[in-house]
Structure 1
Amino acid sequence: MFTGDVMFLEIMGSPFIVNALIGIIIASFVSAAIGHILTSRGITFLSAEVAHAALGGAAFGVLLQTLGIIWFEPLYGAFLFGVVSALITAYAGLRGSREQMEAAIGVSLAMSMALAVVFLGYIRSEDMPKVWGYLVGDILLLTVDDLLFLGSLAILVGFFYILFRRELLYIAFDIESAEALGIKVKFYHYLSILLAAIGVIVTTKALGAILVYAFIIAPAAAANEIAKKTSQIPLITLAIALFSGIIGLTLTFTVNIPASGTIGILASIAYLMAITYSRLRRK
């Protein structure tokens, strides 16, 4: 038992585990901010759209590296494509209804995936794992440079979320009244979409495009079910995301299962438990 404990502590203290824990913390704080925004606005599928745009951007970055532009990292391409795709969606849905916004998200998703397929056709087979890493994700492969870049983006998202939280939520719940009160609806509309895009890119790098929706939306949706007031939602979201991430990472070494998938499953289970609790509370 003692030897097993020592081995476990040695594993948990290794650099790649420490990097993974830091990545989980960063992604959890991002989830607390943008998950709240997306669920409040009813545009949760924006996270899936931006994540797949980031996948196309990563493929573009890998393609440029094969052409000799070594300095252009796949992460830079993911950031560029994710942000541009989100801004196109924001423009298309600026004055439209929620249904029109969802349609714009769907078109952007289709365009992003089409571009990814085109880029993948020109990438060498030995470089494919660099792209697929953005699809399925592996938080254990995060480097210090990745964490510095992702941490900087997370700080940016957190700063603007805290600074403009009231305005962002106002346009989420009642955009017409917000405009009547003189709030700069257009500015905050673009800001909310941009912050969401940056946050999704952070989470995509850590967990992969497939599991972004689970980690960003599931904790926020669970928080919406059990929170008694709006101000509690970000904190509950953060707690659920951290719990899912840390427990999922721990299970990776005790049960030998993929970290990203385990984290996504735990976040989804938390949502199901929150729904059950909410319904029991109403009886």
Structure 2
Amino acid sequence: MGGIGLNDKVWRVFDVGGIRDLQYDRDALEGLVLEPGDAEIVKAISYRQIVRRETISVDFISGKGQGQVILLHGPPGVGKTYTVESIAGHFSRPLLSLSVADIGVKEDEMEAKLTQWFELAEIWNAVLLIDEADVFLEKRSLNSIDDSFASRIHAKIEYPKLDNEKRIKIWEAFFKKMEAEAAGRWYVSKKAKAYVLSDKNAEETQWNGREIRNAFQTAIALAEYEASEDDARPAGQMVEVTAEHFRQVTEMSLKFSKHVDKITSMTEDKRAANRRERPDVDED
């Protein structure tokens, strides 16, 4: 059977024996860290477009379309992509994620390819994500977006840098999600959870959502490797992810951050401001 791989966007012939029903995470929105009002706007617009099947016009580039365009902007790792993934999962719709490689950077090329992808998204009733859209705009600041482009955006949702409260919510969401997927292979100890949620060093890392996920995966890898080296460990025993595993990851991250700050003489906030990913910050 002919089809397309949504990950690599390659058309190919598939063995029907390997076809399975898609599994959607209908509860994905529960782990979304977003202001309540913004979350309702995103869900309402998505419902109108996905569930009610309002007409989608592929001519949105020329300002005549009926598609629903949402701009999610903010620094890396604060939940922009996860929001789109959650919306697709909540409404049980395929996610079509596009990058610069799928669209190109030349204006005439971009319009033709965007039209093609919007047509396919309409046929599949899919959620369409244009990732890293700033590459196509050639600017990194929301303030400098062309007015004609901004006028076609139905909602502009800002994702600020994570504060400690939101960071804790992300940790808790990861605990729930990843332990559910562990299938009895490993678990996170109570002391480990207490460490990442309340320890000063863990708070000092100022990790974003992507870094939290990476830290979690590294701590699990440490725990699994440590267990594999223990010859006295009973076969089939669950692996315990301890506070020490998270402490190792935290200390490694802090050392690297301090090294980068030292050689650049700037904090991450200032570097982000220079890249125009965040508002300017005052020097100390």
Normalized against structure 2, the TM-score is what? 0.30
Structure with the largest fraction of strand = 2
The higher relative CO (CA closer than 8 Å, separation ≥ 6) is in: 1
Query: Which of 1 and 2 has greater Rg?
Result: 2
Structure with the largest fraction of helix = 1
Normalized against structure 1, the TM-score is what? 0.30
